[in-house]
Structure 1
Amino acid sequence: MDFSIGELARRTGLTVKAIRFYSDQGLVPAERDPGGFRRYDRAALARLELIRTLRALDLDLPAIRRILDRELTLPEVAATHAAALATQIRTLTQRHAVLRVAAARGADAGELDRLHRLATLTRAERDHLVEDFLAELPDNPVLTGLKRTLTPELPENPDTAQIEAWLELAELTADPGFRATLRQLAGRQEPVLRRDPIAVVRELVAPALAAGIEPDQPAARPVVLELQAGWPRAELLARLTAAADPRRERYVRLLAIVNGWQAPEPLAPTLDWAIRALRSTVDRAAQ
């Protein structure tokens, strides 16, 4: 025999108590010298080094015993343990997100429970919640693509930021005011393909913003006239006002986080400029 229990402890970094325990459990064979002290061979050293690694990976003793006894291969145990850890990580990530949101909001017990329930919805339950929200949109073929772009799809293994975004987004879908805004925007969609006025506003207003033109300046008038060439002023103003609802932009930003998309460009400055310019034109016409 090559090692005393103290020498084995120094080589493995394990305590004498731990080695004695593993020996008593039959995981590390030992023999006794004439003085009654335990002695270990190099095979025992190798077994202890493997036990140390497996314990560091949180495998339990029954699983370790089956590996040492060759009842299970190490890859088989590793695969099973990895799957279990993945489940634990998903659960911990959900809890982390819920607790972060609850702490930031100063949530009470009722809100904490609601956040937890939203975080732990099954995929089918999330799909039902989203479908109920999107049912607010009219049954219009033109809106089919819009519905797809508004659909959150939480990945199988979301990170904390995605779960936090999902929690806020799910709450927005239940907001009656936001639902009314969505209906207003969707209800103004023509039943045939036509350029989105918001996209047109972004295209026309961006240069004016970059040039530092104020919406009530005379230099803004050509932009306003071009905007009004596509839509009646009142209709355009109503649509842009609805689109400027901060909840709409917040939903789009949260949606990008949940789906792993690139963050969208903020529309608020562009919409605000266009709305002010249109109203300024109306005010001047009334004078």
Structure 2
Amino acid sequence: MRTLPAHLPTDPTPEQVDAWVELAELVSDEQFRERVREMALAGAQGEQQPEGLDPAKVAEHVGRVMREHIAPESAAGTEILHRIVDSHLPAAERARLADRLATFTDRGVERYWQLLGVLNGWPPAPSRVPAFEWLIAALRAPV
């Protein structure tokens, strides 16, 4: 985050001004700063997003279940989960995967990047956090 400084353009649009104000509020929030610290420490210790987990696959399958309001702990939710992760994944590995995903899944941090995108004129990206929150809940659901 430090390598991408946020600057308000010289002649900002109303959307950029709103983004600047919201960004200032966000980064002044102690809980947000603590969450970012937690993520940075996990990353510095070598903890990464789980390998082999395809975000596009998550978005594809979980996007459908979210549109259809399928609960992560339901039989249909389990079926979708098994399209994303191996159905034979041991419970301890499921819990570990859920914990690693949760470390790097945060709505406030995602919002930070969205606001930075507004300030820098980047094209908007769809939110991925709700899909990963569903996946985390499905991984933590009793088998």
Common fold: TM-score over 0.5 = yes
| Residue 279 in structure 1 maps to residue 132 in structure 2 | no
Question: Residues 62 and 131 of structure 2 are in contact (CA less than 8 Å); yes or no, is this contact kept in structure 1?
Answer: yes
Q: Which of 184, 189, 205 in structure 1 is aligned with 2:43? A: 189
More helix by share: 1
**Is the CA contact 2:95–2:140 (under 8 Å) kept in the aligned structure 1?**
no
Question: Matched residue of 1:225: which SS?
Answer: coil
> Is 1:188–1:239's contact at 8 Å kept on the other side of the alignment?
no
Q: Which residue of 1 aligns with 2:7?
A: 153
Q: Distance in 2 between matches of 1:197 and 1:241?
A: 11
Equivalent position of 2:98 in the other structure: 237
In the other structure, the counterpart of 1:205 is 58
1:217 aligns to 2:71 (yes or no): no
TM-superposed CA distance for 1:184, in Å, is 1.6
Question: Contact 2:53/2:84 (CA < 8 Å) preserved in 1?
Answer: no
CA deviations on 1:239-258 (whole Å, 9 max, x unpaired) are 43344432122212111111
Taking a change above 3 Å as real, the CA distance of residues 183 and 163 of structure 1, as seen in their structure-2 partners, is: same
CA distance in 2, matches of 1:185, 1:233: 20
Query: Cα offset for 1:182?
Result: 0.7
What code does the residue aligned with 1:208 have? H
Counterpart CA distance in 1 for 2:53 and 2:29 is 28
Structure 1 residue 190, shift from structure 2 partner: 5.1
Which runs of no fewer than 5 residues in structure 2 stay unpaired? none
- Relative contact order (C-alpha < 8 Å, sep 6+): which is higher? 2
State the distance in 2 between where 1:198 and 1:166 align: 34
1:163 counterpart residue number: 17
C-alpha RMSD of the superposition? 3.2
Name the counterpart of 2:126. 265
Q: Which residue of 2 aligns with 1:253?
A: 114
What per-residue deviation string (whole Å, max 9, x for no partner) do you get for residues 45-65 of structure 1?
A: xxxxxxxxxxxxxxxxxxxxx
State the TM-score, normalized to the length of structure 2.
0.71
Code of the residue aligned with 1:256 in structure 2: it is G
1:260 Cα deviation (Å)?
A: 1.2
The alpha carbon displacement at 1:210 in A equals: 5.1
Deviation at 1:235, TM superposition (A): 4.2
Is the Cα–Cα contact under 8 Å of residues 166 and 258 in structure 1 kept in the other structure? Answer: yes
* 1:189 CA drift (Å): 1.3
Structure showing greater Rg = 1
**Percent of paired sites with the same residue:** 31
Q: CA deviation at 1:191?
A: 5.7
Contact 1:201–1:274 at 8 Å: present in 2 too? Answer: no
Instruction: State whether residues 204 and 223 of structure 1, in contact with CA within 8 Å, keep that contact through their aligned partners in structure 2.
Output: yes
Shift of the alpha carbon at 1:179?
A: 0.9
**How many residues get paired?**
132
Letter in structure 1 aligned against 2:82: R
Alpha-carbon offset, residue 180 of structure 1 = 1.3
Within a 5 Å distance, the mapping from 1:1-287 to structure 2 comes to 147-149=2-4, 151-189=5-43, 196-197=49-50, 200-209=53-62, 212=65, 214=70, 215=72, 216-225=77-86, 232-280=93-141, 283-284=142-143
